Amino acid sequence: MSEALEAQQRLQAVARDPRAYLEQWRQAHPGGKVIGALPMNFPREIAYAAGVLPVIVQDDQKPVTEGRALLAEFYCGYTRNLADQAATGRFDMYDALFMADHCIQLIGSADIVRAVTPQPVFFGMLISSLSDSWAGAKIAEMMGEFRSELERFSGRTIEDHELRASIVAYNKDRQLLRRIFDDRSAGSAVHSPTQLQDYVVSSMVMDPVEHHRLLEAAVSEPASRDRDARVRVHLSGHLCHAPRRELLEVIEDSGALVVDDDLYTGRRYLSTDVDESLDPLDAIGKWYAQRNVNIPCPTRVQHDADWDEYLVEATRSSGAEAVIHLMPKFCEPHMLFYPELRKSLEAAGIPQLLIETEHEGIPLEAFRTRVEALVELTLRKRPVHV
Amino acid sequence: MTRRVLGVDLGSTTAKAVVVDEAGAILASSTVAMGAVSRAGMHRCIDEAVGRAGIEVGDVSGTISTGYGRKLVPGIQRSYTEITCHARGVAAMVPGVRLIVDIGGQDSKAITVDKDGLVVDFAMNDRCASGTGRFYEVLARAIEIELPELGPLAMRGSQDLEVSSMCATFAETEIVSLMAQDMRVEDIASSVHRAIAGRTLALVAQVGRRTPVVMTGGVARNPAAVHFLSRALDHEVLVPEQPQISGAYGAALLAMESFLRTSPPVPDVPGADFIFPRVDHTAAGHSCAGCDGHLRGKVELGAAIPLRSS
């Protein structure tokens, strides 16, 4: 087996079974601490600088059982899955849990996590309103709290040079991922959406230096594959967890070719680097703010950042002919924004399809029909060049 | 000899087949209720349609399939979704249509089309059988009548009993409860139809209300379903003579455009600049702009495709 293929398989294995990776990591780092970080904006750089492995908690795709009694059905599937992981002891692979967000549904799950897990839980609410004059100071203050809390948890002081090194490690990993995504939006069809999802999810789980080394090996062999005649689509949505792989496969199996996305387990995750030239903590605060400029998030309020404008521009830039919205059921931020997205794409003449996803029960054949119908109507719009 | 093509719509409960000639005229059709997607029912349906057209299956110049079982139909050149096929078929049956409500055995769809009969937008149920043909079957069973009697019975109802239509299973319980209260079956039937129409209205809202409205699918043969949908939309709902075959007819028309055209299409669509010459493609699976598919490497364009220079 080639080194590239071996690395690809390793990344896939980590993405699909984080628990196994964490067990191996603990064996290799006796006494090392692992924290589970709830999405979407936890500053992992601070934790890594403290010698802690920060792992973004994934939807483990298991059926919701005990968690059903803890969070109502009108919470999104991911948050109910988090509650279920907490309630059934599946968070035992973490030494502590951290959250740095403001999504109303994630906050609900954080309360459950705090109530039922024996591990320490730190919930730092990053502000969502970014247009106010005091926003920068509030973000910096919260980043300082994360630093203090992580120092307390790890039992050591985080030096600035350690923070800088951590920033460099995560930037380097994001930059390599971004290069792969940029290649795709520029025309390369080498990587399937499930493969790219595995690359990103494994990055969310692994030590950044180790991940970068493996990813570099995974893409080390020259490969080229141009886009074929399938309809080029942009996947939009799934702001805090991965869409099911089966769904991504059905989309590409139904005549569509994914050329770009703004998924959390896609371009949204790797959109922004931390500025290495600034004071490290200030830079991490600015990273949080800048992420919403680079790819706007509907959980935030910022007058000069619009997801709909971003989406139309992104389709132009990648040559996407259609947009498939992947909206988790009961994702309130996405539901709130969706009418604006729809109107903007309609005005731009871009065909679109809304697929509402659920944690359990995915009607793949019905989705297949709908994607094929989108493909058929988009093909009819293709201009003929003579 | 005039060449013929075949469109086959293999749905969840019924197979439909239509044979058309080079002009797109329906030569014969067949509808076979088969319970669930069934190969035997499909073969019987195809045999009946080609037999009625006075030809053999081997005489068919091309076949396009649609419906949930579209990949099961043998000998096809390609398949299209029922959304595209219903739009194509209904646009030919009722020129000028803008909104199609198709209610089949297990799904319901709302499709908006443009002036050329091309799909603009669509919405369909994907998790729930509420408002589909299956729901009417549940109702007929609960009130112990045959399905064809259901529509006329519901038309005689007068009192609105406000039946929930959210779930076929729970609605059955509700119907039994109403019967236990000695409510008139006419009122129960009409109330269920009214509730289903409300459910369909929600589907229509996803694509936007347009007129003229056409209802297709097996449920369109139920006069009460059409009546209550018309009241819910506050607009006349048109029903083609054979509402069940519109998908198969659309598939046959797409087959006709793909396989029978012998001359380059005339660009009669606004914005069209060119008469596009016939092009031979060699790449397997190639599908170019507006292409209706490929047949042994040869691709031809449909007549209603605007050709633009940029």
Q: Between B124 and B38, name the one with better pLDDT.
A: B124
Both tokens assigned to A99: 């959250």
What is the per-residue pLDDT for A365?
87
Select the residue of A363, A365, A383 nearest B289 (Cβ to Cβ). A383
Q: Which of A182-186, A298-302, A377-381 has the highest mean pLDDT?
A: A182-186
Whether pLDDT at A92 is above 90: yes
Mean pLDDT over residues B136-146, rounded?
87
**Cβ neighbours of A232 in B, within 8 Å:** none
A349 close to B (CB below 8 A)? no
Both tokens assigned to B273: 């600049």
Residue A257 Cα, gap to closest chain B Cα (Å): 13
Both tokens assigned to B151: 């529509």
Mean pLDDT over residues B130-150, rounded?
85
Optimal mutation site among B100, B126, B294, interface A, most CBs of chain A within 10 A: B126
Q: Which of B108-117, B240-249, B290-299 has the highest mean pLDDT?
A: B240-249
Whether pLDDT at A304 is above 80: yes
> Does residue A58 lie in a domain region?
yes
**Of B117, B170, B71, the residue nearest B303 (C-alpha):** B117
Both tokens assigned to A170: 């995560």
> Does residue A238 lie in a domain region?
no
Give this complex's ipTM: 0.81
Domains along the sequence of chain B with CATH: 4-93+246-259 (3.30.420.40), 99-239 (3.30.420.40), 264-310 (no CATH)
Optimal mutation site among B88, B127, B207, interface A, most CBs of chain A within 10 A: B127
**Cβ neighbours of B274 in A, within 8 Å:** 384, 386
Whether pLDDT at A51 is above 50: yes
B307 close to A (CB below 8 A)? yes
What is the per-residue pLDDT for B272?
43
**Cβ neighbours of A335 in B, within 8 Å:** none
Residue A122 lies in domain: 27-156
Whether pLDDT at B304 is above 60: no
> Does residue A359 lie in a domain region?
no
> Does residue A377 lie in a domain region?
no
What is the per-residue pLDDT for B36?
59
pLDDT-derived band of residue B300, with 50, 70 and 90 as boundaries? very low
Q: Residues A138-158: pLDDT tens digits?
A: 999 999 999 999 999 999 999
Question: Residue A223 carries which DSSP code?
Answer: -
> Does residue A297 lie in a domain region?
no
> Does residue A80 lie in a domain region?
yes
The mean pLDDT value of chain A amounts to 94
Q: Which of A102-116, B161-175, B221-235 has the highest mean pLDDT?
A: B221-235
A91 close to B (CB below 8 A)? no
- One-letter amino acid of A364: L
Phi, psi for residue B66 in degrees, rounded to 5: -150, 180
**Three-class secondary structure assignment of A299-312:** CCECCCCCHHHHHH
Contact B12, B104 (CB under 8 A): yes
d(CA B234, CA B246): 24
Whether pLDDT at B38 is above 60: yes
Ranges B175-179, B265-269, B284-288: which has the least confidence: B284-288
Q: Residues A258-278: pLDDT tens digits?
A: 999 999 999 999 999 999 999
Whether pLDDT at A7 is above 50: yes
Both tokens assigned to B279: 């092009």
Chain B residue with the nearest C-alpha to that of A372: B81
Question: Residue A232 carries which DSSP code?
Answer: E
Whether pLDDT at B270 is above 60: no
Mean pLDDT over residues B23-45, rounded?
86
Whether pLDDT at B192 is above 90: no
User: CB distance B308–A384 less than 8 Å?
Assistant: yes
**Cβ neighbours of B124 in A, within 8 Å:** 366, 369-370
> Does residue A381 lie in a domain region?
no
> Cα A366–A367–A368 angle (5° rounding)?
90
Mean pLDDT over residues B197-225, rounded?
92
Dmax (CA) of chain A: 69
Whether pLDDT at B273 is above 60: no
Residue A377 Cα, gap to closest chain B Cα (Å): 6
The total of structural domains in chain A comes to 1
User: CB distance B124–A361 less than 8 Å?
Assistant: no
> Does residue A317 lie in a domain region?
no
CATH value at residue A33? 3.40.50.11890
Whether pLDDT at B231 is above 70: yes
Chain A residue with the nearest C-alpha to that of B303: A380
